[in-house]
């Protein structure tokens, strides 16, 4: 969940990075009594995300700046659409402009890419999920954007759930006779509310993992045929997640194998920032 406290903390740090000793250009070139009106305009179509983050950049710079959001997070828009209207002291508007744009362009790019993935699999039961492959410090922002695009969030952090991958299983196997025993022993020490997911990369690993009564099994880098076999083998005993080799060209066929979840690292690590611009008009008030 993207809270105001998180927004303010991250945006304040970004503003401090961008103008640690003030905005010299605006302070020396723009009259103190100048006022600005600016439209946040879409140069291309997409899904809007980060409205409150955009507004925070101006609010934290100067409380006198007013931001009116025209569209809501999660809303699709066409090229040329006005997404928000900003008004207030010109110096402050210009100081906050780049930080506000950086965040909402990034977040809207993630939301738009997610929306395209979601549209590709809309005819199936599968859901699109993100991963922990997020920009350090911006996970809450980027995961909010995924939801705005119609996707779902995976575990938020290492503290939220157990997710055993090949390296974890290798260590467990050194202490136990087989994978089932290793997982069962580990699960016995966990709180009963903790979700457990296990990654496998071969069909023959499925049954020993399921025998430990885990909640989700990840079929990693499986072929389409093996995904279908894997779904049949699981037979509803756990949530089936597909991962690896997922892109806009392959996601439809992956979803049609019957998996429940498709995790896509590209949603956050490879999304292109959406082209949004701030069209500013400045007037100098008469003395």
Q: How would you class 20 by CB atoms within 10 Å of its CB: exposed for 0-12, middle for 13-18, buried for 19 or more?
A: exposed
- Residues 133, 242, single domain; the answer is yes
The answer to whether 128 and 150 are in contact (CB under 8 A) is yes
- Residues 180, 88, single domain; the answer is no
175 is annotated as an active-site residue: no
- Residues 28, 91, single domain; the answer is yes
Which pLDDT score is estimated for 287?
55
- Residues 129, 108, single domain; the answer is no
* pLDDT > 70? residue 76: yes
CA distance 21 to 169: 51
Catalytic position from the list 165, 229, 237, 252: 165
- Residues 89, 14, single domain; the answer is yes
Which pLDDT score is estimated for 176?
62
Number of helical H runs and strand E runs in the chain:
11, 12
- Residues 262, 128, single domain; the answer is yes
- Residues 169, 90, single domain; the answer is no
Instruction: Give the mean model confidence (pLDDT) for residues 259-271.
Output: 97
- Residues of the chain with pLDDT > 70, as a percent, come to 98
Q: How many domains does the chain have?
A: 2
Helix then strand then coil, in percent of the chain rounded to 5, is 40, 20, 40
CA distance 47 to 91: 29
* pLDDT > 90? residue 186: no
Which pLDDT score is estimated for 182?
85
Catalytic position from the list 220, 226, 256, 275: 220
- Residues 48, 32, single domain; the answer is yes
Instruction: Give the mean model confidence (pLDDT) for residues 3-25.
Output: 97
- Residues 58, 140, single domain; the answer is no
286 is annotated as an active-site residue: no
Beta strands in the chain (DSSP E): 34-42, 46-47, 66-69, 76-77, 82-89, 127-129, 162-164, 196-200, 216-220, 239-243, 261-263, 276-284
125 is annotated as an active-site residue: no
Which pLDDT score is estimated for 166?
78
- Residues 108, 129, single domain; the answer is no
* Residue 187 token pair: 């699960």
- Residues 129, 111, single domain; the answer is no
Residues 42-68: b if buried by 16+ CB within 10 A, e if exposed: beeebbbbbbbbbbbbbbbbeeebebe
Q: What CATH number is associated with residue 102?
A: 3.90.1170.20
- Residues 90, 202, single domain; the answer is no
Q: What CATH number is associated with residue 229?
A: 3.20.20.70
220 is annotated as an active-site residue: yes
Angle of CA points 91, 82, 5, to nearest 5°: 60
Catalytic position from the list 37, 116, 127, 133: 133
Identify the three-state secondary structure at position 287. coil
Which pLDDT score is estimated for 170?
74
133 is annotated as an active-site residue: yes
Catalytic position from the list 18, 37, 98, 201: 98
* pLDDT > 90? residue 112: yes
Q: Which domain holds residue 148?
A: 123-269
């Amino acid at each position: 969940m993207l809270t105001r406290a998180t927004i303010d903390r991250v945006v304040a740090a970004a503003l401090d990075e961008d103008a640690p000793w003030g905005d010299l250009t605006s302070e020396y070139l723009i009259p103190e009594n100048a006022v600005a009106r600016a439209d946040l305009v879409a140069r291309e179509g997409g899904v809007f995300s980060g409205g409150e983050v955009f507004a925070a950049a101006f609010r934290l710079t100067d409380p006198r700046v007013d931001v009116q959001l025209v569209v809501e997070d999660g809303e699709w828009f066409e090229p040329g659409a006005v997404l928000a209207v900003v008004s207030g002291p010109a110096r402050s508007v210009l100081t906050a402009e780049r930080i506000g744009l950086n965040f909402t362009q990034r977040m809207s790019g993630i939301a738009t890419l997610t929306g395209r993935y979601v549209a590709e699999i809309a005819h199936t039961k599968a859901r699109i999920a993100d991963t922990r492959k997020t920009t350090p410090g911006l996970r809450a922002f980027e995961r909010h954007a995924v939801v705005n695009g119609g996707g779902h969030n995976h575990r938020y952090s290492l503290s939220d759930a157990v997710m055993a991958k090949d390296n974890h299983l290798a260590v467990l196997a050194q202490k136990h006779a087989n994978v089932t025993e290793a997982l069962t022993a580990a699960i016995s020490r966990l709180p009963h509310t903790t979700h457990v997911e296990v990654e496998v990369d071969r069909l023959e690993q499925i049954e020993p993992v399921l025998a430990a009564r885990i909640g989700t099994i990840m079929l990693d880098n499986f072929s389409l045929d093996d995904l279908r076999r894997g779904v049949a083998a699981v037979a509803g005993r756990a949530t089936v997640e597909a991962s690896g080799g997922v892109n806009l060209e392959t996601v439809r066929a992956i979803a049609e194998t019957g998996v429940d979840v498709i995790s896509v690292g590209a949603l956050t690590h490879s999304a292109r920032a959406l082209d949004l611009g701030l069209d500013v008009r400045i007037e100098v008030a008469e003395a």
